[in-house]
Amino acid sequence: SAKEVINKVYQEVKNSEKKLSEQEKGKVADYIPELAAANPEYFAISIANINGGIESIGDFNVPFSIQSISKPFIYGLALKDHQNNSKFSVDDRVGLNATGHAFNSIVSITEKEDHKQNPMVNAGAIQVTSYLKEGAERDKWKHALNYMNSLSDGKAFLGEKVYRSESATNQNNQKIANMLFDFKMIDENPMDALDRYTKACSIMVTTKQLALMGATLANGGLNPVSKKRILSNSQVINILSQMVVSGLYENSGAWWTEVGLPTKSGVAGGLLAVYPHKYAIAVFSPRLDKAGNSVRGQAVIKKISQMYNLHLLH
Ligand code: GLN
């Protein structure tokens, strides 16, 4: 059963970790002060299937900030907001190709003539957040949070501490947002777009909620618990494709080759993998590798994929 699988993998990953060097075990993100304070030992796995069943082990009731795992979902919302707008293509404006660079790279924005990135790295994600439905600023954010909640159980909330901590230290993202404006990639005040992006990254979730968000994608956009259609099938295909292309940033190619599942990471230690038409696996463990991906998270997903031959090209 799913419960047995995650129990087993949870123990195996913990045991095999004993052989790892400190460097191999990874490090909690330290460029956002509030994340640096996280307990590095937190570890949770949840698996949610397309029938609404959820199994969990470990610290699955501990909320953590979703960080970059908001990116595929906010991209979905931008697609949804513009689905009837034939004059505006989110995909054309943002770009859909791998950058090969770190998630917060500035170089990658300048090196391409058209400056286009993809919605999974900071530049593209700030752009996408800027394209959410018109409306008053407060309403745009409310619109985003409501949507994020509709993908899960409605209990996600803004983590004020993370939000304030990141807002006070996100000079690099400010540079990115200003460049996007200079290059005419976004039209509004770049600090408004960045603020909305930072809020989306500061949404607090548990692995249970995250797994359910993933199960909504596995289920073609229909939330398996509320039974509401949140995204269309084709929007889900776009989202999952972008997770393949850039979900683990500069390590996405190696990850796809080895694991073969659309996956997205966040610097608070979340990792979400989707096995289409079946289930989604969410892991939380704050220690990260150099690219900013959870070390235990990757170990868990890799093991499950290999045990059950989940590689989608298998
Ligand atoms: N909010 C983080 C940032 O912009 C998200 C990065 C991430 O999770 N990789 O730096």
Gap from CA of 246 to ligand 1 centroid (Å): 14
| Closest to 248 (Cα-Cα) out of 262, 271, 264, 236 | 264
SS3 65: strand
Residue 93: pLDDT band with limits 50, 70, 90: very high
pLDDT band at 133 (very low <50, low <70, confident <90, very high): confident
Q: How far is CA 183 from CA 28, 104, 133, in A?
A: 34, 17, 21
Residue 135, pLDDT > 90, answer no
What's the gap in Å between 201 CA and the centre of ligand 1? 7
Residue 65 annotated in ligand binding? no
Residue 147 annotated as lining a ligand binding site: no
10 appears as a binding residue in the annotation: no
Q: What average pLDDT score do residues 128-141 get?
A: 83
Could you tell me which residues are beta bridge partners of residue 56?
A: 46
Helix (H, G, I), strand (E, B) or coil at 119: coil
Q: What fold, for 2-307?
A: Beta-lactamase (3.40.710)
What whole-number distance in Å separates Cα of residue 135 and Cα of residue 149?
A: 19
Give nearest CA residue, ligand 1 atom 2: 67
Mean pLDDT of the 141-152 span = 95
Whether complex ipTM tops 0.95: yes
Minimum mean pLDDT among 117-121, 132-136, 180-184, 188-192: which range? 132-136
Section 111-116 average pLDDT? 93
Using alpha carbons only, give the angle 207, 200, 113 rounded to the nearest 5 degrees. Answer: 115
Residue 114: pLDDT over 90? yes
User: What is the whole-number distance in angstroms between the Cα of residue 202 and the centre of ligand 1?
Assistant: 9
Going by alpha carbons, the residue nearest to atom 10 of ligand 1 is 104
Residue 29 has pLDDT above 90, yes or no: yes
- Around ligand 1, the residues with Cβ closer than 6 Å are 67-68, 103-104, 122, 166, 173, 201, 266-267, 292
Ligand 1: residue of 30, 35, 166 to mutate (most ligand atoms within 8 A of CB) is 166
Nearest CA to ligand 1 atom 4: 122
Q: pLDDT (tens digit, 9 = 90+) per residue, 72-86?
A: 999 999 999 999 999
Mutate to test the pocket of ligand 1, among 31, 68, 171 (most ligand atoms within 8 A of CB): 68
In the chain, domain spans: 2-307
Q: Report pTM.
A: 0.97
Q: Where are the alpha helices (DSSP H) in 151-294?
A: 160-169, 171-182, 190-201, 207-218, 233-246, 252-259
Nearest by Cα to 128 from 169, 152, 95 = 95
Contacts of 281 (CB under 8 A, 6+ apart): 45, 46, 47, 211, 214, 272, 273, 275, 300, 301, 304
Residue 139: pLDDT band (50, 70, 90) is: confident
Is 118 in contact with 246 (CB distance < 8 Å)? yes
Report the separation in Å between the CA atom of 118 and the middle of ligand 1, taken as the mean of its atom positions: 14
For 226-247, what is the mean pLDDT? 98
Å from CA of 84 to ligand 1 middle: 30
134 is in an annotated binding site: no
CA of 51 from ligand 1 middle (Å) equals: 31
